[in-house]
Structure 1
Amino acid sequence: MTRGPTLPAHHLPYLPKPLDAFNAAPAEEARTLLLHCLRSLRWSCRLVDHRPYPDLDALLAAADEAAYDLSPGDLTEALAGESLTDLPEGIYSAAHMALSAAHAAYEARFGHAFVIYLGDVHPDEVIDCILEGIRSRLTNDPEEERVTAAEEVRRLARQRLGHLLRGAGPRPPAVSPHSASSRNASAHGT
């Protein structure tokens, strides 16, 4: 049996872009992906219900809008899904102790995880930025802090969503993979 000519590598079958796959995914699968970005069922359902998105910028804009519209209960749900700050390798134990104490004070005062977007922070400055953020935000009243936390959660969700769907079209400006929150290591742009 003779075989026909093979196609050159640049003629491989079309593989969908991540955004195309997201747009075409079953609703439950798409919601699950979104919940990795922001643990709010209402937010994820809203984004899924408005598919398809023509490009990543449109999806990110919709994600921002949906995050701005989170109710207090939705924000509480999202904050409950946040996790402990992922610290750089080789950090000394005194920094761990300082961060642990600061996190405990923050959670005792506000009753939810500390979240902070660190996409623009140099890796060598992450610990100082987190400590400074916790210390300065401990002076906020509870309502002011919920507004600040909501903005940080929105920025983290945007970064995570862009990271998950990178290559899906025009990308947001490059950011460091460092973003933090206060319960486990999965908060870093994942």
Structure 2
Amino acid sequence: MNLNEFNQISAQQAQQLLMHCVQIPRWTDEISSDRPFISLDDLLNYAKKQASTWTWDEILTALNNHPRIGEKKAQASLTEQEREFSNREQSAIKRSSEIDDALLKGNLAYEKKFGFLFLIRALGLDHTEILQALNYRLLNDAETEQRIVKQQLSEIALLRLTQAVNGQ
């Protein structure tokens, strides 16, 4: 879909498209309501500005609808569009039982420590880089990690929005 099409679809269609980017209803409503946008940069800047206002409760709700990094079976609950985004973002992760085990152990340790799933903008990262980031972030305190998760979720949402509106 291009920007002109995005500007012209119904509010409900726009909200549905935006929910595939991140499941934060206030964000989808605000962006949908503020259309039309003059350029893709205008749309992305507005979306980024709105993402900066996300509350931790909104982020937790979105995380609860997000698959674990490297976990394929969690993708069964995603929409087709969300599966496509997730597959594209995690395409550099090699699949092996050793890597899957390391990611699962890291994810479980992270969830036990912080109470929410590990989130990283995985596009372009391989399994080594993701595991390194996971282990490093396990050293963070909860407040630092919440800031990082908010930033990572925002980057993922903007990446997906770019892909959805650019038709990539």
TM-score (norm 2): 0.81
CA shift, 1:161, in A, is: 0.6
Matches for 1:159-178 after TM superposition, within 5 Å: 159-166=159-166
Number of aligned residue pairs: give it. 148
Match of 2:23, SS state, is coil
Provide the C-alpha distance between the structure 1 equivalents of 2:30 and 2:115, rounded to a whole number of angstroms.
Answer: 27
- 1:6-49 Cα offsets, whole Å, 9 max, x none, are xxxxxxxxxxx621121111111111100110110011111111
5+ residue gaps, structure 2, are 71-89
Provide the C-alpha distance between the structure 2 equivalents of 1:81 and 1:54, rounded to a whole number of angstroms.
Answer: 31
- The AA in structure 2 aligned to 1:166 is N
Match of 2:95, SS state, is coil
Provide the C-alpha distance between the structure 2 equivalents of 1:137 and 1:44, rounded to a whole number of angstroms.
Answer: 29
Provide the C-alpha distance between the structure 1 equivalents of 2:102 and 2:94, rounded to a whole number of angstroms.
Answer: 15
1:46 lines up with 2:30 in the alignment: yes
Equivalent pair of 2:99/2:127 in contact (CA under 8 Å):
yes
5+ residue gaps, structure 1, are 1-16, 168-189
- The AA in structure 2 aligned to 1:134 is L
1:102 lines up with 2:102 in the alignment: no
Match of 1:115, SS state, is coil
The structure with more radius of gyration: 1
CA shift, 1:75, in A, is: 1.4
Match of 1:116, SS state, is coil
Decide which structure has greater helix share: 2
2:21 maps to which residue? Answer: 37
CA shift, 1:120, in A, is: 4.5
**Runs of 4+ that moved beyond 4 A:** 86-90
1:130 maps to which residue? Answer: 130
Matches for 1:7-18 after TM superposition, within 5 Å: 18=2
Equivalent pair of 2:48/2:158 in contact (CA under 8 Å):
yes
- The AA in structure 2 aligned to 1:114 is F
